[in-house]
Amino acid sequence: MRRFSFYLINLIFISNVIGQEINNSWTSSVRADTLGIYDNDLLPPSFHMERRKAVRTFMPEKTMAIYCSGKSMLRANDVDYEFHQDPNFYYLTGLNESNSILILFKNPFIFNKDTINELLLIKERNANSEVWVGKKLGVRGAELVLEIQKTIDIDKFNIENLDFSEIDSIFIHDNFDVGNELFPVNNEQLQLPKLDSNSINYKNEIKANFSEIHKWMAQLREIKTKEEMYLLRKAISITCEAQTELMKVLKPEMKEYQAEAVVEAIFKLNGAEYPGYPSIVGAAENSCILHYTTNRKTMKGNHLLLSDVGAEYHGYTADVTRTIPVDGKYSEEEKIIYNIVLEAQNKAIEACKVGNPFYITNTIATTVVSQRLQELGIIKTPLEIRRYFMHGTSHYLGLDVHDPGTRGMFQPNTVITVEPGIYIKEGSPCDPKWWNIGVRIEDDILITNSEPENLSGCVPRTVDEIEALMKKKPLVFKDF
């Protein structure tokens, strides 16, 4: 479901709300009641407004910043992929429509006789198009719903409408597929129309910077607000319910895609718009493929199933992994490898405290795994660890499953994953009894001013807890 596709039931709603005050409270239902918005827990305009203000604190004097939305992408013939907004653009606007541009000005800027510090370029509404794709915001709707200071039709915009005489440089978000049609950049220079020296817009080139915005957004998005945490907790809660239901449903002879269907059905039943990323549901040898998404294998009783999934709720995604026995009982070898991964994860989570360096989780997890695999004789030296544990232990989580961040010291209200793993492929130089055992345990951890909070900890993690839960009857898929 496109989040803003049905913001306006019809033009009558637009005329009725003009001049009305839209309640900024993010828990209010006023917006839903007056504009036909179906969800009443969306991020409020005030959230996005504060984020735009925060960006301006990074901007030097006499500069502007350009952020572009995502583009609709062709899947095949006349069918598009389901649209997903660029996360940075969404973070600053709340808009979930394509082919739009946000322009931020550090200093007050004169535009069409108005003094502004932000400008949104958006497609105007088209009645014929809306028959097929549903209602769009359009210029007036964007001003009402998003509360952006100035909004105009992108198809009527011309770069000559902007007075660049007081702009020394321009910062550009690297998702520039939409913007490059309106703002010609060549060799990191914005090329302005050729104007004579008497024009107020006398410059012909302005320096363009594509790197600084990355740093700004990493700093901002690393720290979550209370509004973001509400949505992130919701996404994680939905994902935990899906993992729990899968443990109860799983049985031999199921297909990997059937396990995937169980998980994603729980997502939808609980209001998640999408999976946050393609679901990884791999059994046996497929549990050793880090980003396996084929999900077609028939599972046998002696297989392990690695389920790495995350629901996306109002843009924010979870990322939770469990590795469970298809027949409900771990073998001795599976149990040994599983408990090594669990030990590594527990020790890494303990270090998720304010002031510790971001990479401490990886240092701790790899040390534990290396020591235990040497004790088992699976590896002989610490350097061999990367054969069986080849990825990092943590990443930030938020609007992206791999959210941007500074990778500096842990700060309060930061959410990261902790996900050690061991993957022993068939043919590995160790005893064959370990082959095709792939284990990853991943949880979403909130950094606080005290102890770390495991946001996904309600899903069983120990061998005994998982085996006990797998004996219980499912709540949703009772006759699967």
Average pLDDT, whole number, for the chain? 89
Q: Is it the case that residue 192 has pLDDT exceeding 60?
A: yes
Of the pLDDT bands very low, low, confident and very high (cuts 50, 70, 90), residue 66 is very high
- The percentage of residues in the chain with a pLDDT greater than 90, rounded to a whole number, is 74
Residue 132 burial (C-beta neighbours within 10 Å; 0-12, 13-18, 19+): exposed
Is the pLDDT confidence value at 197 over 80? no
- pLDDT value of position 378: 98
Three-state SS at 439: strand
The model's confidence at residue 312, banded by pLDDT at 50, 70 and 90, is very high
**C-alpha to C-alpha distances, 29 to 179, 232, 424, nearest whole angstrom:** 34, 20, 52
Considering only 19-23, 399-403, 437-441, 464-468, which range has the smallest mean pLDDT?
19-23
pLDDT at position 95 over 70: yes
User: Sign of torsion, CA 257 261 263 268?
Assistant: positive
Tell me what the mean pLDDT of segment 18-27 comes to: 34
* DSSP of 17-68: HTTPPPP--TT-SHHHHHH--S-S-SPPHHHHHHHHHHHHHHSPTTEEEEEE
Closest C-alpha to 142, from 91, 97, 172, 109: 97
Q: How many CB atoms lie within 10 A of CB 392?
A: 16
115: three-class secondary structure by DSSP: strand
| pLDDT at residue 195, as a whole number | 54
Q: Helices marked H in 59-168 — which ranges?
A: 87-93, 127-133, 138-146
pLDDT at res. 112 = 84
Task: Quote the pLDDT of residue 186.
Answer: 79
**pLDDT band at 30; cut points 50, 70, 90:** very low
Q: What's the pLDDT at 159?
A: 86
Give me the pLDDT at residue 131, please. 86
- Across 255-287, b (16+ Cβ under 10 Å) vs e yields ebebbbbbbbebbeebebbbbbbebbbbbbbbb
Q: CB-side exposure of 455: number of CA atoms within 13 Å?
A: 30
Q: Give the pLDDT confidence score for residue 196 in this predicted structure.
A: 54
Higher pLDDT, residue 438 or 4: 438
For position 194, what pLDDT does the model report?
Answer: 62
Domains along the chain? 11-219 (3.40.350.10), 224-469 (3.90.230.10)
**Confidence band of 36 (pLDDT split at 50, 70, 90):** very low
Instruction: Report pLDDT digits (tens) over 315-342.
Output: 999 999 999 999 999 999 999 999 999 9
Rounded to an integer, what is the distance from CA 272 to the centroid of its chain? 13
Helix (H, G, I), strand (E, B) or coil at 87: helix
DSSP state of 315: T
Neighbours of 150 (CB within 10 A): 18
Dihedral of CA 231/237/239/242: which sign? Answer: negative
- Is pLDDT of 32 > 60? no
Cα–Cα distance measured from residue 240 to residue 346, given in angstroms and rounded to the nearest whole number: 18
Q: Is the pLDDT of residue 213 over 80?
A: yes
